[in-house]
Amino acid sequence: MERAMSMKDAVISFWVNGFKFNGRSRRREYWLSGLGHLLIFLLVGAIFLILDIITQEKFNLADIYNFIIGDLFYWVAFIPGMALGCRRLQDINVNGIYCIIFSVLSIPLTILGYFYSVEQLFSFNGPLAISILVLNVLIIIFAIVLFIMACIEGTRGPNKYGEDPKYID
């Protein structure tokens, strides 16, 4: 019998299992948690926009929203997102270490993004510019591969990472 999972369940599971790298997560959990977080961001963004309009941009709420959603949430959800990605890969019988490698590769560019604008990053010359370019290309390739893998149906029945999360006995 297929186990039902709502968007609310998926978002809650994202946070409850935030440090659980073993086991499996089905496609529904993976995509619904992303969609649930997106809807939360849009709702919070709409509230901030309305408050910004009401206060005539007196408190610069757009910057506060960008900090909360763009920066703070990114770092708070980094490990839970990585854990969910690992479990998703393990559902298709692929080692979750690939998700960790992708996540670790993205850290230097994220940190550079805090200190330099895009124009400044592209104005670098020499080995640093080549390193940034190679890292960007690797991240794009990894992202495409992981996206495709996240769309693949999980292994039916148990695999070496655990029981099938889609069906219950």
Mean pLDDT of the region 8-31:
94
Q: What is the pTM of this model?
A: 0.84
Judged by average pLDDT, the poorest of 41-45, 60-64, 122-126 is 122-126
pLDDT over 80 (residue 147): yes
pLDDT tens-digit series, residues 48-58:
888 888 888 78
pLDDT higher at 69 or 34: 34
Mean pLDDT along residues 26-49: 92
Output the pLDDT for position 105. 85
Ordered DSSP codes for the chain? -BPP--HHHHHHHHHHTTT--SS---HHHHHHHHHHHHHHHHHHHHHHHHHHHHTTTSS-HHHHHIIIIIIIHHHHSHHHHHHHHHHHHHHTT--THHHHHHHHHHHHHHHHHHHS-HHHHHH--THHHHHHHHHHHHHHHHHHHHHHHHHSPPPSS-BTTBS-SSB--
Give me the chain's average pLDDT, please: 87
